[in-house]
Structure 1
Amino acid sequence: MLDATHLEAEVRRLRNENQLLTSRVKCDVIQEDVLAKFQVALQPLHERVAAGAYSEDIDRLEIDILEVYETHIQAYDERASGFHADAVQSQREDLVHGLCASLRRVALSGLEVSLTQQLEDATDEVLLDAAVTNEQPQLWPRLARLWEDEAQKAAERVRSTLVRLGCAEESAVLEAKEADELRASARAVVAGRLDNPVIFLPELLRRAFDTTFRYQSYQGTLRVTGPFTDLDSLYAEAMARVHSYLDEFSRPLAVSLPQPSSTIASSASEDAPLVDWRARDRFEREVRVHADDLFETQATKQLLLRGTCDLPLGALVVMLFLGYDHILATLLHPLKLAALAAICVLCGATIWARRLGLIRGKCGACLDTALAVATLGVCTSMRVKSFYASLAARRTRGKAKGGAPADSDGSECAELKPAASDCSLAGPGARLMEEGSSSSAYEA
């Protein structure tokens, strides 16, 4: 009885092993067939990835990968549904592992294409930001962090995509070689963007120069310059920024942006400086020529100001409030003298603050306009007073030549009665005005 029972159990075990072995063979054939069809179905994806069809829509690549994956997994489940469950599950796991390896390569290729465009745009943004915000010392560390972060994001996206498909964690994680290749690819994109400075560096240098020389405090507002703007100091500061930017690009790319792994060798072009001394000199000359128009504009304003009046600005401000004939009276009057001193100190402090750049923007523009208007008004007033003074002097000389008697005090102004104020016009102030008018006319 025991022998019969034992024999029956042995028969069932052998039958089960035979069925399992047969199922494994059949499932292995099905797995290889499904995997071969899967590779054929992936070929269009490879072609679209190489053509850049997913460079701007990487989410679409994930959808297409998911569709191909689910189609072939479902095909395997349908064909292997009648075989032993253990064999079906074992071969299914092997199939998923093979599919995940192929999908990882496709997803990685698609992300590398998308990563190229993203890194190129991000590199341009970093360069422009460093040009307009005076962050040249942080340029290379920012670029290194840029490609490292983007490569890490791409690897994490591949892992999350494969995990959503049902791949095991160990199958979804990039291998060490694949991770190094991805990081090297990201670094190569940034290096390729910087490999030819002639294309982008002149524009960046001009932006760095204009940010200090033409614009106000990195805000993008055009600087309003007048005849008293200290363009030399602004130019020196702007050229210092240009030199610091050129210093950053005077080192070899292999030094400024090292390879992510010691096993990856740098190319010969990366061992040479990005900008040699000839290119550096040419870039500096181009920037200097770019500043000539602003210097010419200021020189024109200064020429117009000197042509309007040869007196210094302090004298013009005094003449605006006092005039020639009242200077002596002001010096003899304590209150007027104190007011004159306060006005001179205030005007001097305001002009000095403007020259130092402490008064900027609209306030500085208004100050330049006010000074120009004051200069024009004072000069016009001086011309008018000089004209009337010379007219009074001619009238006095004409009457004296006609034989008119002079006053007992010998003054020539007695003939101009009853206008007693004309005596001041015919006095030393008038002669000074007349001499100034004739000298100005001679210079004109």
Structure 2
Amino acid sequence: MKVLKMWNQISLVKQIAIGLIVGIILAVTIPEAAKSLTIFGTLFISSLKAVAPILVFFLVMASIVQHKKGQQTNMKSIIFLYLLGTFLAGAIAVIVSFLFPVNIRLTEGAEQLAAPGNTVEVLQKLVLNMVDNPVNALIQANYIGILTWAIVLGIALKNASDTTKTFISNFSDAIAKMVGWVIKLAPLGIMGIVIGSVTENGLSSLLDYGNLLLVLIGTMLVVALIVNPLIVFINVRQNPYPLVFKCIRESGITAFFTRSSAANIPVNMELCKKLDLDKETYGISIPLGATINMAGAAITISVLTLAAVHTLGIPVDLLTAIILSVLAAVCACGASGVAGGSLLLIPLACSLFGIPNDIAMQVVAAGVLVSVLQDSFETALNSSTDVLFTATAEYRKRLKEGETLSINRQSMNEDVSEKVVNG
């Protein structure tokens, strides 16, 4: 009991760091014996993925049902920030790819994958997901469909009795509490995930693509540590880094290891709650961000497409580069509706330069080889930015209303309050 009490007094971030270190040590020293512990990682991710769809469904529905007429939300501002961040990420990726051109070794191995033919097909798939059967949407974790049905049902229940509204709200709170229990298991889950990654995915296959990885990861770090903080600063006129680092620390790290924006939705919900954001807003913005806020995907599409262009010696003018930035942003927003995500949208972008599909699929295969790190960084950037932009829009609204705001002090207070709760 003493050990358990001491453990609970440690912040969740430090607990996750301990789980990470223990996982690496076990995977390196006793890899065969440690493999049996990967079950903890599987259980953790499966639990998050299982609870996330029903959490989103009831939380969004409860937010709309409880919404009072005339009450302002920040959804327009948040969606604008999502789209702006995704476009700027694609544009930065294009600039970096011109400054540091990369040639890749084209490889076979992705011919059996079916990539969408054009942008219309991607957007059409996105729209079809909106009208998916609600039960199927919950089972398949189709968040566009879940959001659509939750909004429709929420509007339909606006005039329901107070008893019905209370039941929906209480059910939503109960699921949120379950999420808190699952997140408490994050250190054990991260340990299992790390053991699986180290023992199963050797790093030797990444060496041939070192330059490509440097450009991919470097661009994502530029967006996370320079571009996004600049967007926050323009909106709140205060030092953005306490909020940026808090989002990376408490959302990005978990997303890095789970490599699933959907699985990280419950984590982001908890973080928004800790930041004291409006539940009616983040209940919708977080699951929506998991589907359309795809800065990392825009970077992946742009960098790998231009890597193919440089490898094949195709000249690129300024106008085409701008079009690629827009195309990458649009495709990234539709990535959640495509099996295989951002990598399978590369042939669509390659078609802009007249690159045939068989060559483009070889680029996809090269992307699959580096996806161990690429997908981790991409998911971490995408997911942590969902909370960052949601908080930014709300802080901007509070400042307009004359409220005194200190991001730095609030971040410190949240860390202290977490220790008090755990204690």
Q: Normalization by structure 1: what TM-score? A: 0.21
Ranked by relative contact order (alpha carbons within 8 Å, sequence separation 6 or more), the top structure is 2
